[in-house]
Amino acid sequence: MGSLNNVETTNKPINPLDPEEFRKQAHLVVDFIADYYSNIEQYPVCSQVKPGFLTETMLKLAPLEPEPIETIMQDVQNHIIPGLTHWESPGFFAFFPCTASIGNFLGEMLITGFNAIPFNWLASPAATELEMVVLEWVLNLLQLPKSFWFSSDGGGVLLGSTCEALVCTLVAAREKKLSKVAAEEGVLEKMVIYCSDQTHFSLKKACGVVGISPQNVRAIVTTKSMNYELSSLALLNAIETDLRSGLIPLYVCLTVGTTQTTAVDPLGTLCEIANRFDMWVHVDAAYAGSACICPEFRHFLDGVEEATSFSFNPHKWFLTTLDCCCLWVKDRTVYTKALSSDPEYLKNKPSESKQVVDYKDWQISLTRRFKAMKLWMVLRMHGASGLREFIRKQVKMAQHFEKLLSRDKRFELVVPRNFATLCFRLLLANQSSCDGDINMLNKQLLESLNATGRVYMTHAVVEGVYVIRVSIGAVLAQDKHVSMLWDLLQEHAEVLLAKYVTPQVISTLV
């Protein structure tokens, strides 16, 4: 990159925190990142390196002497960038977006610069209280009920991921239930967790972490006829069946915007059923929660007022980078009782006064980052109006792509679009073609598209049907990139379909 060629090199030992050396080297890195974004479309979206490309070529031992930043950054350019999948590329349509922004970058610089570790209030009062402020700002944007606010009995915390939020709320639910049931052997083995078969796999992992057997996780089957939503009748039947077997319904995880199809569970009716049986209800809106700051999407959260906890990830679609997961609970006393610790060396007067929040009691680990700074910067630099404009722009591009697909009879939209993610497949003209043939066709179509390096998409399998997912959300994506994707899709579909001059099975494709 051009900015690496105009700086005098030096390998003199430096003071690790010399302000002037920091100023000089930080400018170099900022220029490097700016050049990276200017040229990002030159790189294959999905890395095309082979396994071992770095482990087999890097030096086996760390350098003995200091190396100049210019040499290090040249190695980043030559060796690291080829092995990156470029999540900020406008051709990135895989998984869910992982957005970034200038406000976030500047916030991250401040986080690293201050290097505060705010595990309790006294460790950095500004970090703790800014987190409380920012979380209530976001609560207000989402129009969540007052019961989740610190001014009530609730409150919120910034965690690293939804998986962490699931572990913490499962621990709280477990301890709350154990305090109510008879202390008999085997109680934990009787606790049951409920979700749909579309719920993120991290729930089952979280259950294992907190000591609940995977066999006690009821992944209730969903169907296309119900848009892959969790059925209230199916949930009720599962709970009543377990009760008759002497088991203990503990926790249900509902999703607003599932990973595979962005399905939305009907919160109101499902919460009502769970509350009948004194269960903990967690709502996971990791992806779609960001969209719900827009009034036209807020109805997807109807019924959330009956939930016990709610989380979403600003690091997906809120112009904020990893890691940043907002979690709110209705009863902070129940939640923190399950996670709190009080070692002698952390005792202090503010904590003992019970008038402050100590975030060590809201998470698994003791140490934590000053995450609130970057979310605060994003909210201030973009404002609610800027965030809504960004989300609506992405949805508008998804609507355009949806129209293109619906007008071409060769393609099928497998599930309705709720936000900015679409699930579709290419069909065969031969009516007798089985799903297995069509699945293989779409697998090969996806592989050929990704191999171009111009786009990167992923897939899902629902009820045995292989679908291609297009998730529009990259910050740099524009209408022209969606048009490019459509042109590329048509071109590769035509090549594959041309191989079917006569009906034949997919396995004959070369």
Tens digits of per-residue pLDDT, 454-498? 999 999 999 999 999 999 999 999 999 999 999 999 999 999 998
Q: Tell me: pLDDT of 10 over 60.
A: no
What is residue 510's predicted lDDT score, i.e. its pLDDT? Answer: 37
Q: Tell me: pLDDT of 4 over 80.
A: no
Strand partners, 456: 92
Whole-number Å distance between alpha carbons of 100 and 323: 11
Which residues are CB-contacts of 293 (< 8 A; sequence separation ≥ 6)?
Answer: 141, 142, 384, 387, 388, 391
Which fold does the domain 117-370 belong to in CATH?
Aspartate Aminotransferase; domain 2 (3.40.640)
Express each pLDDT in 82-135 by its tens digit. 999 999 999 999 999 999 999 999 999 999 999 999 999 999 999 999 999 999
Mean pLDDT of 337-351: 94
Closest CA to 356 of 172, 158, 128: 128
What is residue 499's predicted lDDT score, i.e. its pLDDT? Answer: 82
Per-position DSSP letters for 245-292, written without gaps between them: TT-EEEEEEEEBS-TTT--B--HHHHHHHHHHTT-EEEEE-TTTTGGG
The HSE-up count of residue 362 (CA atoms within 13 Å, CB side) is: 27
- Would you tell me the crossing angle of helices 372-407 and 102-114 to the nearest 10 degrees? 150
Express each pLDDT in 40-95 by its tens digit. 999 999 999 999 999 998 888 999 999 999 999 999 999 999 999 999 999 999 99
Q: Tell me: pLDDT of 395 over 50.
A: yes
Mean pLDDT of all residues belonging to the chain = 93
What is residue 1's predicted lDDT score, i.e. its pLDDT? Answer: 42
Whole-number Å distance between alpha carbons of 360 and 163: 17
Which fold does the domain 393-508 belong to in CATH?
Aspartate Aminotransferase, domain 1 (3.90.1150)
What is residue 11's predicted lDDT score, i.e. its pLDDT? Answer: 57
- The amino acid that residue 389 corresponds to is E
CA-CA distances (angstroms) from residue 496 to 401, 410, 443, 451? 21, 12, 11, 15
Quickly tell me which residue has 């402020």 as its tokens.
133
CA-CA distances (angstroms) from residue 454 to 46, 295, 482, 483, 485? 8, 34, 12, 12, 8
CB 162 within 8 A of CB 325: yes
What is residue 349's predicted lDDT score, i.e. its pLDDT? Answer: 94
CA-CA distances (angstroms) from residue 234 to 19, 226, 269, 461? 62, 12, 12, 22
How many residues in total does the chain contain?
A: 510
Q: Which tokens belong to 397?
A: 């591009």
Q: Tell me: pLDDT of 2 over 50.
A: no
- Where in the chain is CATH 3.40.640.10? 117-370
- DSSP conformation class of 356: S
The answer to pTM > 0.75 is yes
The confidence band for 180, taking pLDDT boundaries of 50, 70 and 90, is confident
The HSE-up count of residue 311 (CA atoms within 13 Å, CB side) is: 26
Q: Could you give the angle at the alpha carbon of 309 between the alpha carbons of 334 and 204, nearest 5°?
A: 100
Q: Is 76 exposed, middle or buried (0-12, 13-18, 19+ CB in 10 A)?
A: middle
Express each pLDDT in 188-233 by its tens digit. 999 999 999 999 999 999 999 999 999 999 999 999 999 999 999 9
Superfamily of domain 2-86 in the CATH hierarchy: dopa decarboxylase, N-terminal domain (1.20.1340.10)
Closest CA to 274 of 251, 245, 299, 297: 251
Strand partners, 411: 426
Per-position DSSP letters for 46-68, written without gaps between them: S--PPTTTTTTTS-SS--SS---
What is residue 432's predicted lDDT score, i.e. its pLDDT? Answer: 58
Q: Is 314 exposed, middle or buried (0-12, 13-18, 19+ CB in 10 A)?
A: buried
The confidence band for 156, taking pLDDT boundaries of 50, 70 and 90, is very high
Whole-number Å distance between alpha carbons of 382 and 293: 14
Q: If DSSP codes are grouped into helix, strand and coil, which group holds residue 310?
A: strand
Q: If DSSP codes are grouped into helix, strand and coil, which group holds residue 439?
A: helix
CB 14 within 8 A of CB 68: no
Mean pLDDT of 261-289: 97
Strand ranges in 102-230 using DSSP code E only, listed in sequence order: 155-159, 191-196, 217-220
Q: Is 496 exposed, middle or buried (0-12, 13-18, 19+ CB in 10 A)?
A: middle
- Where in the chain is CATH 1.20.1340.10? 2-86
Q: Which residues of 371-382 are buried (b: 16+ CB within 10 A; e: fewer)?
A: bbbbbbbbbeeb
Express each pLDDT in 238-250 by its tens digit. 999 999 999 999 9
Q: Tell me: pLDDT of 501 over 50.
A: no
Whole-number Å distance between alpha carbons of 506 and 466: 14
Express each pLDDT in 358-372 by its tens digit. 999 999 999 999 999
- Where in the chain is CATH 3.90.1150.10? 393-508
CB 376 within 8 A of CB 110: no
Whole-number Å distance between alpha carbons of 216 and 211: 11
Q: Tell me: pLDDT of 398 over 80.
A: yes
In the chain, the percentage of residues whose pLDDT exceeds 90 is 89
What is residue 12's predicted lDDT score, i.e. its pLDDT? Answer: 61
What is residue 186's predicted lDDT score, i.e. its pLDDT? Answer: 84
